[in-house]
Structure formats: C-alpha cells, structure tokens
Amino acid sequence: MEHHRLNKTLLEEEETPQEAVANPDYEHPNVTLIAAASENDALGKDNGLLWHIREDLQRFKELTCGHAIIMGRKTFESLPKALPNRTNIVITRNNDYQATGIVCCSSLEEALDLAKDDPQPFIIGGGQIYQQAMPFAHTLELTRVHDHFEADTFFPTIDPTIWQEVWRETHPKSDNQPLAYTFITYKKIATS
Ligand SMILES: NC(=O)c1ccc[n+]([C@@H]2O[C@H](COP(=O)([O-])OP(=O)(O)OC[C@H]3O[C@@H](n4cnc5c(N)ncnc54)[C@H](OP(=O)(O)O)[C@@H]3O)[C@@H](O)[C@H]2O)c1
C-alpha cells in the first residue's frame, strides 16, 4: 500500500522487500504526551489553537526536535506543513492519505511501532488522539493556561491516582503575555 512505501522512505528503515507491518503487541517504554490546555481543559476550536504563547511554542520545539511526533489527521491539517527536524507520523483511517513530509498509519499502536527506534516519541494531539493515547503514555508535558476558553476540543481529565506531578514552572502574566501559564510534568505512577 502507498502509505507503507512512504513510511519506509521517511523512516529510513533498512531496505527490505517486505512491507512494514506493525506489531500489535508492541508497547513503547517511553511515550511522552505534550499538550497545552486551559483551566477548563480546552485545546482548540475550529481546528485551530486558542492562544499564542511564544515560550510554549519554543518549549514544544526544544522538547520535540529530533524525535517522532505522532498526531491525528486533523491536527496535521491545522499545521501549515510537516514540522521540520522531526518524524511526522499522522494517524488516519484513510489508507490513501498522503502529504509531503509525513508518514501515515491507521492506528496509535501502528504509530508507536513506527516510532520504536526513537527513545522518546511524542504524542502531539489533538483531542481524539490524546484521549486514546493516555493509556500508552508514561509522561505528560502539560502547559496549563490559566484562563477559561470556549472550545470544541478538550484534553482528557488527568486522574491524580494515575498521574503524579513531578515538576512545575510558573509564568505569571506580563506586558508581553496577557495569559498566565504553568509548565507541568507528570509521570505515570508505577503499578506493581
Ligand atoms: N492545545 C494543544 O496542545 C493542541 C495540540 C494539538 C491539537 N490541538 C487542537 O486540537 C484540534 C484537533 O483535534 P481533534 O480531536 O479534532 O482531531 P485529531 O485528534 O487531531 O485527529 C482526529 C483524526 O485522527 C484520525 N483518528 C483518530 N482516531 C483514530 C483511530 N483510532 N484510528 C485511525 N485514525 C484515527 C481520524 O482521521 P481521519 O478522519 O482522516 O480518518 C480523525 O478524524 C484542533 O483544534 C487543534 O488545533 C491542540
């Protein structure tokens, strides 16, 4: 299938005559989910973002550069183009979907299998993919924007019995940035 050929080219897999096949039992050991959500868990509206926080975009770039970034087809289409210096993996049910600079796949499991050689792949949204990815994630890098927004896409509720906050950095309002926000890292609580 066409998207499998594309996968091979972009991931620079070993040259092999076989098609790439996802291993359904594969579990990546270090998956990070990165998102920015308001106090009411708003993520976006009309397939766009709700705010512009330059430091948040910088942090996103610093954390994700050099890694695989996994996203839903709608989030990909909200971007001007594939994000540079990262392996852009796009999840869609459309087997014919193609765009420059991306690898397509048809499930989150397949996306994580494609990213298995990356020590830290990132799930970058949107709402549908975050919801499905919470069980696969080990770390959440959340930017909490301290305001309420009307939205059509929301981040899942973070269950404190599953996720432990391990780091935060607060950013109050300033002349340049009318929104206060906090970078927060959560780690999944280990279960025995
Ligand atoms: N604030 C943030 O941090 C942040 C980050 C990212 C995105 N966003 C925002 O989130 C919004 C987009 O999120 P969204 O929830 O509407 O869409 P999304 O999660 O980006 O993409 C949804 C699409 O992914 C594909 N998909 C979902 N589950 C699948 C599955 N199990 N198997 C195969 N394909 C699957 C489908 O594509 P097909 O329809 O092609 O089959 C589906 O329509 C936008 O407003 C964007 O700006 C915000």
Is 90 exceeded by the pLDDT of residue 45?
yes
162: confidence class by pLDDT, cuts 50, 70, 90: very high
CATH number for position 37: 3.40.430.10
Residue 16, domain member (yes or no): no
- State the distance from the centre of ligand 1 to the C-alpha of 125, rounded, in angstroms: 6
Residue in the structure block whose two tokens are 């949107």: 126
Q: Closest residue (by CA) to atom 22 of ligand 1? A: 72
Cα–Cα distance measured from residue 4 to residue 104, given in angstroms and rounded to the nearest whole number: 8
Q: Where are the beta strands (DSSP E) in 51-148?
A: 68-72, 87-91, 102-105, 122-123, 139-145
Per-residue pLDDT, 27 = 85
Residue 20, domain member (yes or no): no
Contact between residue 121 and residue 102 where contact means Cβ atoms under 8 Å apart: no
Is 50 exceeded by the pLDDT of residue 156?
yes
Cα–Cα distance measured from residue 162 to residue 185, given in angstroms and rounded to the nearest whole number: 13
Cα–Cα distance measured from residue 51 to residue 82, given in angstroms and rounded to the nearest whole number: 21
Phi then psi for residue 79, to 5 deg, are -90, 155
Per-residue pLDDT, 191 = 76
Q: What is each CA distance from 169 to 40, 98, 125, in whole angstroms?
A: 20, 39, 22
**Overall number of domains in the chain:** 1
Cα–Cα distance measured from residue 80 to residue 152, given in angstroms and rounded to the nearest whole number: 21
Is 60 exceeded by the pLDDT of residue 2?
no
Give the tokens for residue 187.
């780690």
- State the distance from the centre of ligand 1 to the C-alpha of 127, rounded, in angstroms: 6
Beta carbon of 153 within 6 Å of any ligand 1 atom: yes
Residue 145, domain member (yes or no): yes
Residue 120, domain member (yes or no): yes
Residue 22, domain member (yes or no): no
Beta carbon of 3 within 6 Å of any ligand 1 atom: no
Beta carbon of 22 within 6 Å of any ligand 1 atom: no
Instruction: Over range 3-25, report the average pLDDT.
Output: 41
Is 50 exceeded by the pLDDT of residue 25?
yes
Q: Closest residue (by CA) to atom 39 of ligand 1? A: 92
Q: What is the DSSP letter of 136?
A: G
Judged by average pLDDT, the poorest of 24-33, 59-68, 146-155 is 24-33
Is 90 exceeded by the pLDDT of residue 7?
no
Range of the domain at 92: 2-10+28-188
147: confidence class by pLDDT, cuts 50, 70, 90: very high
Cα–Cα distance measured from residue 148 to residue 11, given in angstroms and rounded to the nearest whole number: 39
Give the tokens for residue 134.
């919470």
Cα–Cα distance measured from residue 83 to residue 117, given in angstroms and rounded to the nearest whole number: 19
Residue 147, domain member (yes or no): yes
- Bond prior to 126 in cis (omega within 30° of 0): yes
